[in-house]
A and B are shown apart, each in its own frame.
Chain A
């Protein structure tokens, strides 16, 4: 079946540090890949997505590249801010018929001033 594996958190960084959150997936075919972010007390919201191999999704300084050969979609940001503190979820959506998102367990990011 489909599954998403993320690095466990929390990830603790100082402001302006470089961020990487690893994500790998298992799926048949060529799913679409997503990163969602959840701020405290809120629902999830889409951060970025990529729909085919080698696509790069980007938003708010975050980037992730769809790597089919390594089945990965790692999230990166060059310089994090305190306001980036949140839980980040990697997810996939199969490209077949009725389908929904399969989420990883989430990685909490804590950024200190």
Chain B
């Protein structure tokens, strides 16, 4: 079975450019999460969706970041305009349950470098 699929795996862009990261969750999972990983801050939850509806976006750094989930099989995280401090690995994860025993399944991540 396919796991969580993220694209692109690597992205190098210049400051001020728009970046769009994509995620396809595992089929049948109803929760989707976007995390950011940096050396300084570790793993930070940016936003999560349940049944395509954003439940908590308090981790989104600022208005330059936006996330959408137009259907159960696709989500995007957009940064516009990008800045060097946005350089990080962005992970998408999905889950099948809201209960506290639910395991998160992570994609392989999108490594973003903003020059």
Residues of A within 8 A of B (CB): 31-32, 34, 41-46, 49, 51, 89, 93-106
User: When the two chains form the complex, which single residue of A34, A46, A100 contacts B45, counting CB atoms closer than 8 Å?
Assistant: A100
Q: Is B104 an interface residue (CB 8 A)?
A: yes
- A-B contacts at CB below 8 angstroms, number: 57
Can you report 8 residue pairs joining A to B where beta carbons are below 8 Å apart?
A42-B109, A44-B43, A44-B104, A45-B106, A51-B101, A95-B100, A101-B45, A106-B42
Looking at the assembled complex, report how far the CB atom of B60 sits from the nearest CB atom of chain A, in whole angstroms.
Answer: 14
For the residues of A in contact with B, the DSSP-based class is: loop
Given contacts A44-B91, A98-B55, contact A93 B43 (CB under 8 A): no
Chain B residues with a Cβ closer than 8 Å to the other chain, count:
24
Interface residue ranges, B against A (CB under 8 Å): 4, 31, 33, 42-43, 45, 48, 50, 55-56, 91, 93, 98-109
Chain B, Cβ-Cβ closest to A102? B45
Report the minimal beta-carbon distance from A107 to chain B, rounded to whole angstroms.
Answer: 11
Which residue of the partner chain A has the closest CB to B47?
Answer: A100
Closest A residue, CB atoms, query B4: A43
How far, in whole Å, are A56 and B55 apart by their CA atoms in the complex? 31
